[in-house]
Amino acid sequence: MTLEQLRIFIAVAEREHLTQAAAALALTPSAVSAALRALEERYDTPLFDRVGRRIELNDAGRLFLTEARATLGAARNAELALAELAGLQRGAVALHASQTIASYWLPPLLLAFHRQYPQIELSLTIGNTSSVARAVLDGAADLGLVEDGVDAPELLAATVAEDRMVAVVAPGHAWADGHALDADALRAAGWVMREPGSGTRSAFEARMAALGIAPAELRVALTLPSNEALRSAAMAGPYATVVSELVVAPQLQAGLLRQAGLDLPPRLFSLLHHRQRQPGRAARALAQALQGAQAADKAASKPPERSSASRSS
């Protein structure tokens, strides 16, 4: 049994989907399938039930998942302990991030960090808020990045950025003129939404609750696994969706999508680490870089102070 097999098994078990796990691991579906098959055949123990074209974790798989997470976490800690001996000239950071952050906000910051510390290996796994929090809890991730916070006392969260959410529709939609929407209009509309457990859906449902709308009252036509899928579905119409403005900024500018008249409060991007696990030096350096980005953004957005000469004139 190899650590790579454990990593692949955990990714598939968490998603119960070969293709999605392969995409998150940057592997081909055939490579993922072969690794699982080798693991099951080596110990003569099926870990998944194949139901039609789907796979489902069975009882043996659920028991093994707990041990696999613990083993992979221990291996990461051992690797970090050795890397610490070389200071920041070498090291590794396992980072898990939710989709919006990983696809739109994070890449330029990781590139800047790599330029400063080229010998530190950065690995990024994309999930949703729930899976990222679980990876940090289990020790599979040194750091996690999620939209808003998580309800887990074992985790510490620090704000690293603020994100603006928008409701968008196709140009031909009745909401395309941006008129204000009331609760009855929101209930009557057809929606495409991210899956439960995603920060985007949680933020949307929290806003609906503030307007007195329960999740069961919404007409969700499709539940889709990515922001890009939501964007494409909204462009095709006739459904509305809610995403980060980062996801749809080019389409809004080009007129391919229109912003609907739904006021949505900003949400926070949070950096997670385990309360009882001390991050290694490389992870601490990355955390400082990410938190420094927020300070830089605030300084850039702050209007310049007028000089005393200007004030007196």
Is 35 part of a structural domain of the chain? yes
Task: Based on the fold, state whether residues 257 and 280 are members of the same structural domain.
Answer: no
Q: What confidence tens digit (pLDDT) does each residue in 61-87 have?
A: 889 999 998 898 888 878 777 766 566
Task: Based on the fold, state whether residues 174 and 256 are members of the same structural domain.
Answer: yes
Task: Based on the fold, state whether residues 155 and 271 are members of the same structural domain.
Answer: yes
CB 210 within 8 A of CB 216: no
CB 144 within 8 A of CB 272: yes
Is 306 part of a structural domain of the chain? no
Task: Based on the fold, state whether residues 28 and 60 are members of the same structural domain.
Answer: yes
pLDDT value at residue 73? 85
Is 234 part of a structural domain of the chain? yes
Can you give the residue range of the structural domain that contains 80? 1-85
Task: Based on the fold, state whether residues 22 and 77 are members of the same structural domain.
Answer: yes
Task: Based on the fold, state whether residues 238 and 207 are members of the same structural domain.
Answer: yes
Q: Count H helices and E strands in the chain, helices first.
A: 13, 12
Span 88-98, average pLDDT = 84
Amino acid at 300: A
CB 70 within 8 A of CB 32: no
Task: Based on the fold, state whether residues 185 and 37 are members of the same structural domain.
Answer: no
Q: Which tokens sit at 187?
A: 């209930």
Residue 250 sits in a domain whose CATH number is: 3.40.190.10
Task: Based on the fold, state whether residues 247 and 271 are members of the same structural domain.
Answer: no
Is 57 part of a structural domain of the chain? yes
Please give the full DSSP string across 225-259, using - where no structure is assigned.
SSHHHHHHHHHHSS-BEEEEHHHHHHHHHHTSSEE
Least confident of 47-56, 104-113, 130-139: 47-56
Is 56 part of a structural domain of the chain? yes
Residue 296 pLDDT greater than 60, yes or no: no
% pLDDT > 90, the chain:
49
Is 209 part of a structural domain of the chain? yes
CB 128 within 8 A of CB 24: no
Task: Based on the fold, state whether residues 154 and 144 are members of the same structural domain.
Answer: yes
pTM for the model: 0.65
CB 285 within 8 A of CB 88: yes
Number of domains making up the chain: 3
What does DSSP assign to residue 216? G
Is 249 part of a structural domain of the chain? yes
Is 132 part of a structural domain of the chain? yes
Helix (H, G, I), strand (E, B) or coil at 148: coil
Q: What confidence tens digit (pLDDT) does each residue in 167-212 have?
A: 999 999 999 999 999 999 999 999 999 988 888 888 899 999 999 9
Instruction: Give the domain-ending residue among 85, 107, 127.
Output: 85
Q: What confidence tens digit (pLDDT) does each residue in 247-262 have?
A: 999 999 999 999 999 9
Task: Based on the fold, state whether residues 171 and 257 are members of the same structural domain.
Answer: yes
Please give the full DSSP string across 29-91, using - where no structure is assigned.
HHHHHHHHHHHHHHHT---EEEETTEEEE-HHHHHHHHHHHHHHHHHHHHHHHHHHTTGGGSE
Residue of 118, 125, 98 lying closest to 227 (CA atoms)? 98
